[in-house]
A and B are shown apart, each in its own frame.
Chain A
Amino acid sequence: MIRAIMLSTPLSDQDVEKLRMGDRVLFDGVVYTARDAAHRRLVDLIKEGKELPFDLSGQVIYYVGPSPARPGHVIGSAGPTSSYRMDPSSPYLIAKGLKGMVGKGPRSQGVVDAMMKYKCVYFATVGGAGALLAKAIKKSEVIAYEDLGPEAIRRLEVEDFPAIVAQDVYGGNLYVEGVKRYAR
């Protein structure tokens, strides 16, 4: 078994430059949630030059809309959603200092260009493993856009949250390289 790299958020340029496609990581610290609707609002604020609900610099965004928490639980099921839907928005957030994105499925060339230019890494985690991933989430608090329900922005505190480097700052892409290795 390959040993996982521990990553404490927020991340620096040095942190993300060390990571290569295929590396397994475990996150500790704060990550923020945002999906389609929250991304649209954040991009509108950036375009208007207005202040964002949280400072993006060094932060990691997890693409998740959790199910409601049962009484006594921190959060419900909390696995990743498909990342491609955030592709039109992500370059704006990356230019504002975002250092990591966590989701599932490959990203567009536009996102890759921004990731390489501003140093941001894309991590994949296991879709459909929301019950297991929720166990790594120790605290959850809605910090913006409560009206969006499951799509609200949450501040999560995570411990040993598992992910894999899918696309790195050097253009390395596990969705291309990994698949090439096993195609017949």
Chain B
Amino acid sequence: MTPPDAVRTVGLTKRFGSHAAVDGIDLVVPAGSVYGFLGPNGSGKTTTIRMLLGLITPTHGEIELLGHPVPSRVVDALPRVGALVEGPAFHPYLSGIDNLRRLDAADRTADPATSGRRLGEALDRVGLAAAAGKRYRAYSLGMRQRLAIAAALLTPKDLMVLDEPTNGLDPQGTREVRSLIASLADDGTTVLVSSHLLSEVEQVCTHIGVMHVGRLVTQGSAAEIRRQQEAEAWVDTDQPEQAARVMRELGLSDVRITPHGAVGRLGEVAPEKVVTACVHAGLAVTRFVVDAPTLEEIFVGLTGEGFDVSG
């Protein structure tokens, strides 16, 4: 049995009054993927995630979460879904572990007999074991975030939905979240991670979707997306015209002369062929660079604005 897509939506739309926060998106999160759900703040990521989890009823469109229709059968899907939605939220006058205990008690699929062990493991995994008995009120923002992740890990999950998991974390915490995502993926868990910080998730994502003003402007595997924008080969040499001619012969397009040599779009041409051809033509190649656009550059092109890299 091939696993179905972990998440699939068709024409998913949410209107608040006349304003469409999410406008007809067809989201596909393949099972086993790490799906980077990207977009600037206010682009509809959180509204989409809330709809996936049954917290908000869509105005139009359909959702399947782990094969169950949402919101009608969301209760059947959610036991296998861990979620971190829009930051942590717990009872401030309860300790961290008591907060987890409450969520575990609310879970009808959780085995009470193993509750203590599972709580300990989840706290260990996020590095909160030492602070488990402290009141939530006294937690730092980073600790709160970790507790929320621990809450999502109380029972085994097929899908983790992490909405801005690195918010409020220091660089060290951000690295830990990345490695946590990687380890979840290794275990076979599908991860849907949303972020307005591209750099944080770029390295771990196998799939990417980009939201812009309520629409999903692009979606696919990371490799596919990179391929959408072709890489350019830069050849530095003292004979620019020669180099340009060789590149045109090889089939590169948009070949231009630069002060130090020539540049052209690679297309289907393998980069190493360019170097070989230049050397065979007797050119002195002083520098060879293949410049693939970063996702950042792709997204600037898609959304017309950059990601907030300062936050």
Same complex origin of A and B: no
Q: Chain B residues in contact with chain A, CB under 8 A?
A: none
Q: Chain A residues in contact with chain B, CB under 8 A?
A: none
